[in-house]
Amino acid sequence: QVTLKESGPALVKPTQTLTLTCTFSGFSLTTVGTRLSWIRQPPGKALEWLARIDWDDDKFYSTSLKTRLTMSKDTSKNQVVLTMTNMDPVDTATYYCARMHSSGWSLEFWGQGILVIVSS
Amino acid sequence: QSALIQPRSVSGSPGQSVTISCIGTSSDVGGYNYVSWYQQHPGKAPKFMIYDVNKRPSGVPDRFSGSKSGNTASLIISGLQAEDEADYYCFSYAGSYTYVFGTGTTVTVL
């Protein structure tokens, strides 16, 4: 059974760095072809793809946010970490992690999401 | 990367069919057969409904189907049911290892 759960702060101040952790079970990020993505959704708005990390540690980022995003993985803990620098109130959103389908092009299993509010 | 364009809302009576369009460009929807669709109920995480344009994951009712023509992908819900009332998002590979979502469509069951 595949599960994913996001964790991190519910509130960050403007200009701070956000660090989110995705803890998963039911699969390993050392398995060839396994990929994880982060997605966010501002309240009442659409989903936005942020980043992807692969089993071989390749990482890919949204063109518009790549200067602010960093992904890493800790395979021993079954965790993936996303950091986003220089947070702004417009970054207020629910942040999701998702395991991608084996074909590599879609988001098969999702975490429950974590709401992060950016406010002073 | 611009969001894929979806109608803000569609509606139908129980038993009817509705179609949600997802308009992209030749750099995303039109360039790859990697469109997927997600259903999202209020306060919930999105659910995987269609992948690779027209493939259905295990457990998704066959009332849901997908297609693509040129730069436009479509999700068709046949035999609309009350539980289908939700937001729906398309998602496409956009080249250079990036992806793009649609603007989202609210389906209302009358």
pLDDT tens, B46-82? 999 999 999 999 999 999 999 999 999 999 999 999 9
B chain contacts of residue A63, beta-carbon cutoff 8 Å: 1, 96, 98
Q: Which two tokens stand for residue B103?
A: 């603007």
Size of interface A-B (CB pairs under 8 A): 68
Structure tokens at B108: 């209302």
Question: Which pLDDT value is given to residue A9?
Answer: 98
Facing residue for B98 by CB, picked from A46, A63, A113: A63
Report the pLDDT averaged over residues A67-95: 97
pLDDT, position B19: 98
Mark out chain A residues that contact chain B at CB-CB < 8 A. Answer: 37, 39, 46-49, 52, 60-64, 96, 101, 103, 105-113
Chain B residues within 8 A of A24 when measuring between CB atoms? none
Q: Pairing mode, if any, of strands B9-12 and B105-109?
A: parallel
A86-117 residue pLDDT tens: 999 999 999 999 999 988 899 999 999 999 99
CB within 8 Å: B45 and A63 = no
- Answer whether A45's CB lies under 8 Å from B103's CB: no
- Which residues, 6+ apart, have CB-to-CB distance to A102 below 8 Å? A33, A108
CB B18 within 8 A of CB B12: yes
**How open is the CA angle B11-B17-B23, to the nearest 5 degrees?**
70
Most distant CA atoms of chain A, gap in Å: 43
Q: What is the pLDDT of residues A5-39, one digit of tens each?
A: 999 999 999 999 999 999 999 999 999 999 999 99
User: A17 to chain B nearest CA, in Å?
Assistant: 23
What residues form DSSP beta bridges with B20? Answer: B75
